């Protein structure tokens, strides 16, 4: 039981658990489910998720510290390019699809195509590669898409008016965080969250920026230690210190993940329509193709490829980065109000889980990671660029 619980926490399985409950509930007692989901939506998506995204941001910042997965910054260039290519590919396919299907009302849903489920990516990365630079590469590819999606929804927010004092509140939150950081006395995360957090949240809310993004401006001032992204989030070693955000919020964030799945993943399975296929095509075709094309372009233009990643790895990474599930669900709920467009894009977001078996099948077919044929006498890997891998 303890082992199952540890596994559930390590792989963020409470998120899919909440999602499965929501799916069953919505399709058996829809009226009741949607009443509950709509009542909880604000607390989960606009407040709880702020902690979830802060959690992710903390990981990324720590990965850029000396000793982290992306230090020095040059190591991050190719994955960032790959992530950008994947995002462009996904958005291009999404837009093309809805134009072809003649449903332009879905046009403003393009940020949904950017979403990559970093928790599912991590699980896939661990299953295929176990550990190492390929997982960090995969994680950054996914994070780039999510950053673009988050930036986009801050424009798409359905807020009525922008309060004049909003910017001032966000600046005040940052100023408080700087002061706390410089005091060097406070090691705990709580003063940041209790003093600067509400100001930042209110500032974002009044500015029409999605409040789930509100803690991002103050995360860079939290206590931190370098980390490799292949062991995303567990609060071990220095990360387990009491003052570390990931230590304090390790369990609450799991709760947020569960409720996020519960509130957002409940869709009527007959609700598929053009938006479903657009999101699915964008994630499963647009993103992998965009990633591969961008890397090909970058490597042939002289960007140094990582030593331990070949084309076969990259193909698997491209597919492993394709599921948008949780992040696409969140982006969909930020872009569309409750209604048919939200339903059909949410169905598409959930269906992108198909990228997971595709990635595993690709890994098996191409003999990548744990599927490497140990009996082979010749290396089966093709370097990204001859003579440089």
Partner 1 sequence: MRLLRLIVAALAVTALARSGFHAQELSTLPNRPDSLKFAAIGDNGTGDQPEYDVANQMERWHRRFPFDMVIMLGDNLYGSQRAADFVQKFERPYMPLLAAGVKFYASLGNHDKTSNDTYQPFNMGGERYYTYTRGNVRFLVLDSNYLDPRQLAWLESALRDAREAWKIAYFHHPIYSDGGRHGSEIELRVKLEPLFVKFGVNVVYSGHDHIYERLKPQKGIYYFVSGAAGELRKGALKRSINTAAGFDQDRSFMLNEIAGDDLFFQAISRTGETVDAGVIHRESQP
Binding residues (CB under 8 A) for partner 1: these are 30-31, 34-35, 38, 102-106, 158, 160, 268, 270, 273-274, 336-343
Nearer to partner 1, 274 or 283 (CB): 274
- Quote the CA–CA distance of 330 and 307 in Å, as a whole number: 35
For the bound state, the minimum distance from the C-beta of residue 208 to partner 1, rounded and expressed in Å, comes to 13
Of 244, 240, 238, which Cα lies nearest the Cα of 226? 238
| Closest residue by Cα to residue 73 from 81, 102, 262 | 81
CA atoms of 346 and 333, how far apart (whole Å): 8
**Which of residues 59 and 273 has its CB atom nearest to partner 1 in the complex?**
273
At its nearest, how many Å lie between partner 1 and the CB of residue 212? 17
Across the strands, what pairs with 310? 383
Is residue 75 within 8 A of residue 69, CB to CB? The reply is yes
Neighbouring C-beta atoms of residue 43, cutoff 10 Å: 13
DSSP string, 273-327: -HHHHHHHHIIIIIHHHHHHHHHHHHHHTTPPPPTT-BHHHHHHHHHHT---HHH
C-alpha angle 18-4-356 in degrees, rounded to nearest 5: 60
**Cβ at position 190, least distance to partner 1 in Å:** 33
Residue with Cβ nearer partner 1 (77 or 268): 268
Q: Is the peptide bond before 72 cis (omega within 30 degrees of 0)?
A: yes
- Cβ closest to partner 1, residue 69 vs residue 95: 95
Q: Shortest approach of partner 1 to residue 16 CB, angstroms?
A: 22
Q: Which C-beta is closer to partner 1: that of 160 or that of 376? A: 160
Report, in Å, the least distance between residue 160 CB and partner 1.
6
Nearer to partner 1, 19 or 86 (CB): 19
| Cα separation, 126 vs 111, whole angstroms | 27
Q: Which is nearer to partner 1, 195 or 268 (CB)?
A: 268
Minimum distance from residue 250 beta carbon to partner 1 (Å): 33
- Pick between residue 196 and residue 332 the one whose CB is nearest to partner 1: 332
Residue 285 beta carbon to partner 1: minimum distance, rounded to whole angstroms: 23
DSSP 183-207: H-S---SHHIIIIIHHHHHHHHHHH
In the complex, the smallest distance separating the C-beta of residue 181 from partner 1, rounded to whole angstroms, is 37
| Residue 195 CA: distances (Å) to CA of 57, 76, 180, 222 | 19, 33, 10, 13
């Amino acid at each position: 039981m303890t082992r199952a619980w540890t596994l559930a926490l390590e792989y963020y399985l409470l998120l899919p658990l909440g999602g499965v409950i929501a799916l069953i509930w919505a399709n058996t007692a829809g009226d009741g489910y949607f009443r509950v989901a709509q009542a909880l939506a604000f607390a989960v998506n606009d407040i709880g998720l702020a902690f979830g995204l802060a959690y992710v941001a903390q990981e990324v910042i720590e990965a850029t510290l000396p000793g982290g997965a992306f230090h020095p910054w040059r190591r991050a260039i190719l994955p960032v390019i790959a992530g950008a290519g994947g995002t462009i590919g996904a958005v291009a396919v999404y837009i093309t699809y809805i134009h072809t299907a003649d449903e332009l009302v879905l046009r403003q849903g393009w940020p949904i195509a950017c979403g990559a489920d970093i928790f599912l990516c991590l699980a896939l990365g661990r299953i295929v590669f176990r550990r190492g630079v390929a997982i960090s590469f995969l994680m950054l590819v996914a994070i780039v898409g999510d950053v673009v999606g988050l930036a986009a929804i801050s424009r798409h927010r359905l807020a009525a008016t922008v309060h004049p004092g909003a910017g001032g509140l966000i600046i005040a939150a940052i100023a408080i965080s700087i002061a706390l950081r410089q005091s060097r006395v406070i090691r705990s995360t709580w003063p940041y969250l209790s003093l600067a957090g509400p100001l930042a949240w209110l500032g974002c809310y009044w500015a029409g920026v999605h409040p789930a993004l509100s803690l991002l401006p103050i995360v860079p001032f939290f206590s931190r230690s370098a980390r490799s992204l292949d062991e995303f989030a567990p609060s071990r070693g220095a990360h387990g210190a009491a003052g570390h955000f990931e230590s304090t919020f390790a369990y609450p964030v799991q709760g947020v993940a569960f409720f996020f799945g519960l509130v957002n993943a409940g869709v009527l399975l007959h609700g598929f329509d053009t938006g479903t296929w657009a999101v699915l095509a964008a994630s499963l075709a647009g993103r992998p193709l965009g990633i591969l094309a961008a890397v090909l372009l970058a490597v042939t233009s002289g960007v140094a490829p990582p030593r331990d990643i070949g084309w076969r790895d990259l193909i698997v990474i491209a597919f492993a980065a394709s599921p948008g599930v949780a992040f696409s669900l969140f982006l969909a709920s930020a872009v569309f109000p409750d209604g048919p467009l939200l339903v059909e894009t949410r169905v598409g977001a959930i269906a992108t889980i198909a990228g997971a078996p595709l990635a595993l099948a690709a890994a098996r077919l191409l003999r990548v990671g744990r599927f490497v044929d140990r009996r082979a006498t010749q290396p089966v890997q093709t370097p990204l660029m001859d003579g440089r891998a």
